[in-house]
Amino acid sequence: MTVTVFIVSLLAAMAIGMPIAYALLVCGLSLMGFLAATSGLVTFDSQILAQRFVDGADNFPLLAVPFFMLAGEFMNAGGLSRRIVNLAMAWVGHFRGGLGYVTVMAAVIMASLSGSAVADTAALAALLIPMMRAAGYDINRSAGLIASGGIIAPVIPPSIGMIIFGVAGNVSITKLFLAGIVPGILMGVAVGLTWWWVAKKEKVLPAVKVAMPERLRITAQGSLALALPVIIIGGMKFGVFTPTEAAVVAAVYSLIVGLFVYRELKFSALYQLILSAGKTTAVVMFLVAAAMVSAWLITVANIPTEVANMLSPFMGNKMLLMLIMMILIVIVGTALDFTPTVLILTPVLMPVVLKAGIDPVYFGVMFIMNNAIGLITPPVGTVLNVVCGVAKISMDDAFKGVLPFLLAQLGVLFLLVLFPQIVTVPLQWWMR
C-alpha cells in the first residue's frame, strides 16, 4: 500500500503541473501522513520535513556541483569549447560527413570537461548547427547527432549526475568517475559508427584537408583544454584530490586559462557567468534536498523491501534483474528529467541491487547512462529540446533525426548488461 501512496501522490502532483521538487515534497507529506495514520512509524510534523530538507542539501560532496557548473560556464565563455571544435575540425573534418565526426570527437572531449549534458549540447549546437546547415547537411539528422553526442557528458568524468547518484546511493564518487570512462567512450564510438552509416546519404562535399603544420598549430592552441581531463582523472587516480576538490581545480583552471591565456573571458562577464551557474545549481540543489525528504520516508516505509519482494523471482539471475531494471528506467526516463529520475529511483533500487549482490559502482554507471539516454527521448527529452531551440526545428523532426543514434546508445547499454566486465575490469585496473 505504501508503494501505491508513493506513486499516486507523486504522479498526481506532477499531473496538475507542480514542479518536480514540490511534487517530491508533496509525496513526502503524503507518505508521512499515511505512515502516521496507519503504522505510527513517524509522527506527522512539518518541522521534521523541514529539518530533513535542510540536511538533504548539507552534504560536502555536493559542493562539486556548483564548481563543475561554474567550470562549464568559464569554458564556454573563455574559448575552450570553441578550440576543441577547431581541433576536431582540423583532424577529421576532411572525411566524408566530416562535420559529423567533428561533432562526435568534440562531444567526447567536452564531456570530459564539464559533466553537463545540457551545457555541452548547447555549446556544440551553437557552434556546429550553423556550419552543418551552411554545408548542406540534413538538419534533422545533424540535430539528432549533436543531441546524442551531448548525452555522453553525464557518463564520462567529471559527471554531475554521478555526484548526485553517489551522494544519494552512498557510492564512491571516485570509483563512479573512473568506471564511466570506458562506457562513455563506447557511447561515442557507437554514435560515430552510426553516423558513418547514415552519412552515406549526405550529398555534401568534405572540407578541405588541413595541412599538418596547421593541424599541429591548432592542436597546440587546444592543448590547455585537453590537459584539464588529464589533470582531473590523474589527480583522482593518484589520490591528489577528491572529486569535490577536482571541481574546484576545474573551475580555477578554466578561469585562469580563459582570462590570462586565451584572453576571451572578460572580468566584466564574470558576474553573469557566476550568476548563471548559481541559478542552475539552485535548481539542482533544491531537487536534491526535496528528494532526500522522500528518500528518508521511503526507507522508513520500507518501500525498498516491497520492491525487492516484487523482484524476488529474478534475484537469482543478476543479468536478468539488471535487464528488467534497465527497461524500467528507460520507461521512467521518457516521462521524467535526468535529476528527478536519479533522486527518486536511487533509494528504491539501491537496496535491491545490494541484496542481489550486484556491484553498486557498475549499477551506478549503468543507471546514469540509462538516465542520460532519457534526455533524448520525448516527450520530456531536455537535450532534444535544447537542440530543437538552437536548430529551430520541431520535436518530431528532431526525434526522427536522433532515432538511429538513440538505438545505437541503447545497444551499448544492453551490451554492458550482457558483459558487465566491460565496466568492472577497467575499473579494477584504474584502482590499482
- pLDDT for 29: 86
- pLDDT for 410: 97
DSSP string, 71-91: HHHHHHHHTHHHHHHHHHHHH
Does residue 291 belong to any structural domain of this protein? Answer: yes
Write the CB contacts of 252 (distance below 8 Å, at least 6 apart in sequence).
Answer: none
- pLDDT for 370: 97
Residue 97 dihedral angles phi and psi, to the nearest 5°: 70, 30
Does residue 227 belong to any structural domain of this protein? Answer: yes
Please count the structural domains in the chain: 1
Does residue 403 belong to any structural domain of this protein? Answer: yes
- pLDDT for 379: 75
Does residue 373 belong to any structural domain of this protein? Answer: yes
Tell me how far the alpha carbon of residue 313 is from its chain's centroid.
31
Does residue 301 belong to any structural domain of this protein? Answer: yes
Angle subtended at Cα 411 by Cα 410 and Cα 415, rounded to the nearest 5 degrees: 115
Render each residue's pLDDT in the chain as its tens digit; 432 residues. 777 888 888 889 888 888 888 888 888 888 888 888 887 767 777 788 888 888 888 888 888 999 999 998 999 899 998 899 999 999 998 888 899 999 999 999 999 987 789 989 998 999 999 999 988 899 999 999 999 999 999 999 989 999 999 999 999 999 999 999 999 999 999 999 999 999 887 777 777 889 999 999 999 999 998 999 989 988 988 889 899 999 999 999 999 999 999 999 999 999 999 999 999 899 889 988 888 888 888 888 888 888 888 888 888 899 999 999 999 999 988 878 899 999 989 999 999 999 999 999 999 999 999 999 999 998 778 999 999 999 999 989 999 999 999 999 999 999 999 999 999 999 998 877
The identity of residue 416, as a single letter, is: L
Interval 43-55: pLDDT, tens:
777 788 888 888 8
- pLDDT for 346: 93
pTM of the model: 0.91
Class of residue 426 by CB neighbours under 10 A (exposed 0-12, middle 13-18, buried 19+): middle
Cα–Cα distance, 314 to 2 (Å, whole number): 22
C-beta of residue 72 within 8 angstroms of C-beta of residue 275: no
Which H or E run includes 45? none
Does residue 204 belong to any structural domain of this protein? Answer: yes
Cα–Cα distance, 185 to 174 (Å, whole number): 18
C-beta of residue 31 within 8 angstroms of C-beta of residue 6: yes
Class of residue 211 by CB neighbours under 10 A (exposed 0-12, middle 13-18, buried 19+): exposed
- pLDDT for 4: 84
Write the CB contacts of 212 (distance below 8 Å, at least 6 apart in sequence).
Answer: none
Does residue 5 belong to any structural domain of this protein? Answer: no
Interval 146-160: pLDDT, tens:
999 999 999 999 899
Distances (CA, A) of 236 to 72, 89, 256, 304, 430: 19, 30, 21, 32, 10
- pLDDT for 33: 86
Does residue 15 belong to any structural domain of this protein? Answer: no
| Residue 349 lies in domain | 45-430
Pull the grid cell for residue 168: 544519494
- pLDDT for 403: 96
- pLDDT for 390: 92
Instruction: Please report which residue ranges of 238-269 form alpha helices under DSSP H.
Output: 243-256
What is the length of the chain?
Answer: 432
Residue 172 dihedral angles phi and psi, to the nearest 5°: -60, 120
